[in-house]
Amino acid sequence: MRILLVEDDPVACRTLAKLLRYHGHDIVEAANLLLAFERLTAEIEVIILDLMLPDGLGHSLLRHMRDTGHPARVIVTTGMSSPRDLSDVRSLGVARILQKPINLDELLANLDP
Amino acid sequence: MSWLSEIARWLTGGPRHQYMTLVHCMDHDMTWIGVTVLLDLTVAVGYLVIARHWWIQERSISPSPERQALSRMKSIFLFCGLCGYIFIPIKMYWPAWRLYDAFMMVLAIQTWRYAWDARGLKVVYHQLGLARTLAVELEASKAESLRQTRFLNAVSHDLRMPLNRLVLQSELLDVAARTGDSELMEETIRSIRESARATSTMLGRFVELADLDWSEQPRATETFDLADLLGGLADAQRPAAEARSVELTWSSDVRQIRTDRGKLRTILEELLKNAVQFTYKGHIRVQAHADSQALIISVRDTGLGISEKDLERIFHDFFQVGNPERDPTKGIGLGLPLARRTADCLGGQIDVESALGAGTTVRLRIPGAVPLRTADGPPLDLRQRLDAGEGLAHLAGRG
């Protein structure tokens, strides 16, 4: 499965990418929104998206996907816990919201629809 | 009942006006007299409406001294208002002066009774003052609660990052162990150690800051050698500075000082760490001197500098310049807030002068931390030391 991993914490990004590769997935990494937009190709099947990024919020990527009809499944990972913060994300067609620290088994189980 | 009708006749003038002369003005200028009567009655009705609202509001609170005091005022208001405005027109039409005087006597007695009772209004005003104070305290409490919630949210958010790293790294360690990849294992253990250290530092910071905010901070005043403190702090930060070819030097016109050593150390450590973190070339100079009222220590660097809009924000909790990804190994934005809050505990202040690309000067001023001995100088004489706030017992104890 080709996964776009959008995560600004370089250590977490690198570690999660290694783990997902170990589980047989093809990982494209993006440390910020700009790179995420650049690397969001048609082949991407799943996006693991951190919401708080250095150059903005992950919401704009979600809106872009909705506007362009990109079919990738989106799993949001976030350190925010307030329901108010997350309600607008849910309305943008996110498949699953996972709180950090990420439970790897839960993440792997949610990669497939 | 004949005596009653006799009194009534005496008061009102009687049918043939045998008790008093009836003088009234109803025989002329009827238009203006009519207007006066109409206006009087309009005012009287207004008084009734006000009293009605007053009465309704009064019923909405449970019996209390304040309600009682206000209720008396309502009675005065109603009594005087109605009497005044109803009797004026009656008097114009029916000038029964004796009856009017009898009524005025009752009015005077009642008014003075109420005037006496008006002392009870102090209860109302006391309660109003109390309510105002409580409202102000409630607002402050709400603001503090909001600040604490934000702080806890930020703590929660920032703690999740190193925890997330640790969880993922432990998963990776598990993979490395299962696949027998010793190189990956070593690398992951190293990363785990680093993440654990960052988490520990972060937790320590949170606790320090929370401690400053939410508990009493007694001053542990002691006499110590400022040069020792500055030298020790500079030595601790020098390797990090030299790794970037930044020269770190210090000088002090002050030797012995009397203040809270631990708190002063915390402040200076944060200021120095901050200077080292944002200086990539040139130098960092720490200078201490004192005037007659305060100890002044400045940390001057040739680092990146701070833009004008960030100058005040650098003291806000969790604000960081140049760490948008909030990597905890680059700090968590609590160093300068901690320094300022600690300076507040000492009654001191921190001022910053900076401009982007022009370096930064942070000046710490602690009133009352007056030197007991200057560099290269003898101990200050007894008079100076007493002026500096050092007690005789202390001087005697030091021999």
Give the pLDDT confidence of B303-352 residue by residue, as tens digits: 888 888 778 788 887 777 666 555 555 666 777 888 888 888 888 899 99
Distance CA B15, CA B20 (A): 11
The verdict on a CB contact (< 8 Å) between B191 and A102 is no
Q: Give the per-residue pLDDT at B324.
A: 58
Q: Give the per-residue pLDDT at A81.
A: 62
pLDDT band, residue B127 (cuts 50/70/90): confident
pLDDT band, residue B76 (cuts 50/70/90): confident
The verdict on a CB contact (< 8 Å) between A104 and B164 is no
Higher local confidence (pLDDT), B115 or B252? B252
A79 contacts on B by Cβ (under 8 Å)? 156-158, 160-161, 164
Is a pLDDT exceeding 80 seen at residue A86? no
Q: For A51-60, B120-129, B329-338, which range has the lowest pLDDT when averaged over its residues?
A: B329-338
B191 contacts on A by Cβ (under 8 Å)? 11, 15
B326 dihedral zone (left: phi>0; alpha: psi -120 to 50; beta): left
| Closest CA of chain B from A84, distance in Å | 13
From residue B165, give the alpha-carbon distance in Å to each of A16, A104, B139, B196: 9, 12, 39, 9
The verdict on a CB contact (< 8 Å) between B172 and A19 is yes
Residues of B with CB under 8 A from a CB of A: 153, 156-158, 160-161, 163-169, 171-172, 175, 179, 184, 188, 191, 195, 324-327
Q: Give the per-residue pLDDT at B395.
A: 34
Is a pLDDT exceeding 60 seen at residue B98? yes
- Transcribe A37-87 into DSSP letters: HHH--TT--EEEEESEETTEETHHHHHHHHHHT---EEEEEES---HHHHH
From residue B220, give the alpha-carbon distance in Å to each of B223, B264, B294, B345, B385: 10, 11, 18, 11, 19
Percent of chain B with pLDDT over 90: 19
Q: Give the per-residue pLDDT at A82.
A: 63
Q: Give the per-residue pLDDT at B390.
A: 45
The verdict on a CB contact (< 8 Å) between A8 and B324 is yes
Burial class of residue B248 (count of CB atoms within 10 Å of its CB; 0-12, 13-18, 19+): buried
Taking Cα atoms as reference points, which of B321, B284, B312, B282 lies closest to residue B300? B284
pLDDT digits (tens, 9 = 90+) for B343-381: 888 888 999 998 888 889 999 998 877 666 555 555 444
Is the pTM higher than 0.80?
A: no
Q: Summarize the confidence of residues B36-58 as an average pLDDT.
A: 85
Average pLDDT over all residues of chain B:
80
The verdict on a CB contact (< 8 Å) between B164 and A54 is no
| Most confident region among B92-101, B111-120, B164-173 by mean pLDDT | B164-173
Is a pLDDT exceeding 80 seen at residue A36? yes
ipTM, 2 dp? 0.91
Q: Summarize the confidence of residues B238-259 as an average pLDDT.
A: 87
pLDDT band, residue B21 (cuts 50/70/90): low
Q: For A3-7, A59-63, B228-232, B385-389, which range has the lowest pLDDT when averaged over its residues?
A: B385-389
Q: Give the per-residue pLDDT at B27.
A: 60
Q: Give the per-residue pLDDT at B108.
A: 85
| Closest CA of chain A from B337, distance in Å | 22
Q: Summarize the confidence of residues B187-215 as an average pLDDT.
A: 81
- Hey, what amino acid is at B191? S
Return the C-alpha torsion angle A67, A68, A69, A70, nearest 10. Answer: -120
Q: Summarize the confidence of residues A79-104 as an average pLDDT.
A: 80
Do B169 and B188 touch, CB atoms closer than 8 A?
A: yes
pLDDT digits (tens, 9 = 90+) for B302-316: 988 888 877 878 888
Is a pLDDT exceeding 90 seen at residue B84? no
Average pLDDT over all residues of chain A:
89
Is a pLDDT exceeding 70 seen at residue B384? no
| Closest CA of chain B from A112, distance in Å | 20
